[in-house]
Structure 1
Amino acid sequence: MTAVNNDDIWEDFLGISLDPPKMRDKCSQCKRPIDVCWCPGLPDPRLHVESKVIILQHPAEVKRALRTAPMLSLGLESDKCLIFRGKKFPKIHQKGLYDILNDENTILLYPSPNAINIHNLRKVGVDGQKPYNLVLLDGTWPQAKTMYHASPTLGTLKTCKLVDVPISEYVIRTQPTDGCLSTLESGALSLSILEGKDCLKDALLGPLHYLCKFQLERGAITHHSKELLIKQKTYPKLVGKRLSRQLKINSDNSSDV
């Protein structure tokens, strides 16, 4: 048996710093570490739009490192994007949300059975159309669905959906289907349609493009949707019931006019 020198053990302990590990400096704007900040991709100055974006965010989204809702919030003028967190809406402490949800110009982007093609809505300023309050549910598809069904008020809103959407440009993240877009992409595309300004989409997607380019240059790979991998028979896992239902919903929506 080897003898243990207690003095050596104490010397090892003495070499350990009592201070907590130094945290990386964070950007004061996006709150991400400086070396992975995507703020250089933001439009400057912030974009002016007539409508407002109302993001109803699931609490779990706050912990996601690569969430896109902050990109949308920081890309628009400060009073044009409001974020409310929770699993059920509206609540008493969510100041102003009740009035917004009861405004006749409020619309919800959600593929409910009665949702209409967003292209069929009047553009802002046409025939006296006032600016919209565009409500987005920020979370995974199961989370968004739970939020919708837990909030009776959301079921009373006029709902719209994006039809024939392009493939997501969030290429460093795997989407469930080809028709799934990030919160930023959904908001940017919807605003460009409602306001009749195609340039809004590209300008708002600047930070997402910056983030993806940064990650790809450092070894990240381009991800394809689970739907495409399944079609190509290269998806490595069994397809569960939930994903199967989502693929069917996506297929049904893509055939709507």
Structure 2
Amino acid sequence: MPHAVARLREERLARSLKPFVARGSRAERCPRCRIVPSHCACAWQPEPGAEAGVCLLMYDVESLKPTNTGWLIADVVASSHAFIWSRTEVDPRLLELLADPQWQPVVVFPAEYAAPERVVDRVDTPEGKRPLFILLDATWTEARKMFRKSPYLDGFPVLSLQPESLSRYRLRRSTRGEHLCTAEVAALCLELVGEARAAQVLDNWLDVFTEHYLGAKRHFSPDITNAAHRALERD
């Protein structure tokens, strides 16, 4: 069964008035891993797991971009949910998810943009609840807009992460190395709540996806003997 981001992509395509054209989007791609067939990474596709949940709020066409890493999160985290963000309309399914008593929603965003009383550096969940990490999947400029203009998130704590290393993401340019891609953020969240194995699987899957994607783009063969490939083979 397609995961949440794959379903959202199909919903977004269905309501498009004209074809979406991103850089490289015209190439034939594997429907599962989104990489051209010559460099398909499906042999290393991990099995979904993790107890924590992830809710991806995706800016308009983000789900259509071949380089989107929210897709990789949904490959790994079984309880993944994805919604297109809108300033004027809120998907009722999103509000239903946020009100579900099994979840403790937490917005993941830098502390400097939130009221101090909302900011936390750890996730404490009441008995019977599981953490639901709300990730704003967009460019940095778009994400700040989403954070400011989503009043239905105002009642939830804001988790401010302090990454110890710079981003390894190589598929889009960023002027600031401390800005992690969405999959890297999700991996830190999983590690924070004791899901170290799922976090490592997600990190490895990001590395494998990146290696294969760039290999197809730059015409080189991915190194299938590197640590990330070997780790996913063992899993």
Maintained 8 Å contact 1:90/1:151: no
Gaps of at least 5 residues in structure 2 are 1-25, 220-235
Partner of 1:30: 33
Larger Rg: 1
Per the alignment, do residues 182 and 132 of structure 1 end up closer, same or farther by CA in structure 2, a change over 3 Å counting?
A: same
1:61-116 deviation digits (Å, cap 9, x = unpaired): 13422111111111222xx101101233862xx24311333457111001233353
Identity across the alignment (%): 21
Tell me the number of residue pairs that the alignment of Structure 1 and Structure 2 aligns: 187
**d(CA) in 1 for partners of 2:150 and 2:197?**
34
Q: Which residue identity is paired with 2:208?
A: Y
1:205-227 deviation digits (Å, cap 9, x = unpaired): 2232113323269749xxxxxxx
**SS of the residue 2:195 aligns to:** coil
- Normalising to structure 1: TM-score of the pair? 0.63
Partner of 2:227: none
Maintained 8 Å contact 2:191/2:199: yes
**d(CA) in 2 for partners of 1:159 and 1:88?**
20
Per the alignment, do residues 165 and 99 of structure 1 end up closer, same or farther by CA in structure 2, a change over 3 Å counting?
A: farther
**SS of the residue 1:128 aligns to:** coil
Q: Which residue identity is paired with 2:131?
A: Y
Maintained 8 Å contact 2:50/2:77: yes
2:147 maps to 1:168: no
Per the alignment, do residues 24 and 181 of structure 1 end up closer, same or farther by CA in structure 2, a change over 3 Å counting?
A: closer
Per the alignment, do residues 32 and 171 of structure 1 end up closer, same or farther by CA in structure 2, a change over 3 Å counting?
A: closer
User: Could you tell me how far 1:117 is from its partner in structure 2?
Assistant: 4.4
The 5 A counterparts of 1:24-63 are 25-43=28-46, 45-46=47-48, 48-63=49-64
User: Could you tell me how far 1:55 is from its partner in structure 2?
Assistant: 0.2
1:173-216 deviation digits (Å, cap 9, x = unpaired): 3333222111111112101212x132222201223211332326
Per the alignment, do residues 32 and 154 of structure 1 end up closer, same or farther by CA in structure 2, a change over 3 Å counting?
A: same
User: What RMSD in Å do the two structures reach over aligned CA positions?
Assistant: 2.7
**SS of the residue 1:27 aligns to:** coil
**d(CA) in 1 for partners of 2:216 and 2:181?**
21
**d(CA) in 1 for partners of 2:188 and 2:38?**
29
**SS of the residue 2:172 aligns to:** coil
1:101 to 85, 95, 98: 98
Gaps of at least 5 residues in structure 1 are 1-22, 221-257
Q: Structure 1 stretches (4+) deviating beyond 4 angstroms?
A: 216-220
Partner of 1:253: none
**SS of the residue 1:205 aligns to:** helix
**d(CA) in 2 for partners of 1:211 and 1:188?**
15
Partner of 2:186: 187
Maintained 8 Å contact 1:24/1:34: no
- Normalising to structure 2: TM-score of the pair? 0.68
The 5 A counterparts of 1:229-244 are none
